[in-house]
Structure formats: C-alpha cells, structure tokens
A and B are shown apart, each in its own frame.
Chain A
Amino acid sequence: MNPLRLLLRTLVSGLFIVAGLLKLRDADLTLIAVYQYQLMSWESAGVLAATLPWIEIAGGVGIWISKVRLGGATLCLGLTALFIVALGSAVARDLDVSCGCFGTSDLHVTALKRLGEDIGLLVLCVGLWRSELHRLRAQLQFEADTV
C-alpha cells in the first residue's frame, strides 16, 4: 500500500473518530458548542449535536472499509468544509466562540486559530479524497478491462 495514502488515512480518520468520541462523551457541551455559533435554534442545535458525532465517526471508520472508502473521504471532506464555513462565519460576526471541535480539550484554541487548523485539515482531506478517487478509478478501469 502507498505509505502516503496510509498516513493520510490514519491522520484524517484518527482526527474524526477522536473528535466524534469526545463530542459524544460530553453531549451538553456539544449542544452548547453548536448553539454558540448562533446559526440555529436550540431545537435544531440539539438535533445537530446528536447527529454530528456519529457522522464524524462514520466518516472516520468508513475510510478503512474498502467498500465505502471514497464515501468516508467524502464525508470527512464535507464536514471539514462545513466547519470552515461555520467558523468563518463566527469570526466574521466577531463571535467569541471557542470552537468545541474536540470537546473540552481545546479550550485554549481560539476560533481564528482553529480556522487555520481546519484549512490544514481540508488540505489533508482533499489529498485523501483525490487519492481514494484515483484508487476507485483504477479499480473500475481494471474491472472494465477484465470484462
């Protein structure tokens, strides 16, 4: 296996699984973390706070399952893009948010710093997504050739 691809998978899936588990561990704080972006009502924030950690975990685990690898990479990429939009809007509105991406473990990280980190994560996710796309394309090509 390509070592770079393996490293990308490990990094991205590890980050998403850990982030999801930390959010599940502290559901109250996850709800507040979602609500503080002031993009939705408490009710909607409640639904998102209950759903988001499981989607993160599904994305992180999916990267390791050959049948849904591209789907896992797509989910991780989509979620990262979503986080960037939410954080960007908070920074633009001068909201005093402290991310909440990794439960209580990231209380020293400001939204602006996390935005920079998320852009870094986006680069990793794009790299992984492209790599998985190439892998699937090669697989489909091989199947077409053998038929």
Chain B
Amino acid sequence: MIVAKRKPLQEIKDMLKPYQKILVLGCGSCVAVCMAGGEKEAGLLTTELQMAFELDKDKKQIDTLTILRQCDREYIDEVKEKLNQYDAILSIACGVGVQFTAEVLGGAKVLLPGLNTTFLGATIEPGTWMERCLACGDCILDETGGICPITMCSKSLMNGPCGGHEKGKCEVDRNRDCGWVLIYERLKKLGKLELLKTIKLPKNYGAVKRPDKIIHEAYQPVTVKEVKDSQK
C-alpha cells in the first residue's frame, strides 16, 4: 500500500490561512490503513484545526468528508457537488489523490495536501510500516530470494553485500539491516545460494518512463475497421 505521514499542524494551518470554508477530505484506502488519512484521521485533523483556529480567534468553517478512494473518478464524481461548495479542500490522500481530485473537479478548485506521501510499504506490526518496493518497473525478486535489493539495500546495489556491512548491519545506518545479508540468509534457507554466483548486470532504470502510463491489453484503442474485421 501507499504509506504517508501527516504534515505538521503549523504547515497545514499556514496553507489554510487564506480560506474561509474548508473541507478536510479523507481517503478510505491505503492512507486509512497506515492511519494517516482515513475517516478517523480526517475527523481528528478537523477537530484539531477547528480548535487551532478557534484559539487564534480566526472564524473558519471546517467540515469533514471521507470517500473510499481519491484515485478513482467514480468516488469523486459522487461528491462533486459538495466539494464545489468549499473555498479550499485539504485532501489527506496520497499525492495521487490530491492531484486526481483536482483534475476531476476540472482544476477549478484549490486542493491542498495534508500528508507527505512517503513510500510503498507493508505493515510490520500495528502502527509500524516499512518500505518494500521502489516501483522500478523491472522486478528481479525471483533472483534474490524474494527480498528486493533495490529497496532493502541503502545503495540499491545489484550485487552485494558491499564492504560496508558489519554484523548484518548497513554502514549508511548501523540500526538498519543490510539488505544483501538478508538476501544471503534467505537464499541459504531456500538452498539457492548458487543464485549469488551470477553477476547481475546494471539495472535498466529506464523501464519506467516517468510519468508512466499503462493501458491494459484489453483496453487498447481499436479502429472501427478492426471491429468490423473481428465480426466477420
């Protein structure tokens, strides 16, 4: 899932200062799971902002609403009318949600980010999330025992470990596990250490053309002629 972290209250307050009628828009998917932008967090942030502006004797109307996803048109369309009633919308979705909501509203509404989108990660334990994928577009997990060196190695090395590891820890941060030691241990457990003998070639970082776009094979544009051909 996409993991995000709430911006400091002061930063959010500064962004909202010029606006009177504000809506805190939560997103019920990834950011709800990582306890940053779901319905509960939207309610909490709304209460905090209402209190903060009341303390500043600044009269603002701050409401809250949470939709299931801010990265899918149909969920935004449902509440479009309501969203248009506000001077500004503080979206606490990931960066995708903030941009896409603005896009669906025709770019005519001020959309502000309440979160800093951080990484693609997994829930390690309740309240703890950790990065697991860098979305490089060219997965090599089959060669590395299911542990990603691009993500788990601080230097994203294709062949490791480097000389900087000590007792399984990384030289970039001694509290962090060395990704390549993790890969070695995993391959040992799987009885596939021979995979380390192959030198891996430099990674093709051009696999993803940013900003990338994917069109599902079944949704490729077709010409009318082709349709007619297939009906023959």
Partners in one complex: no
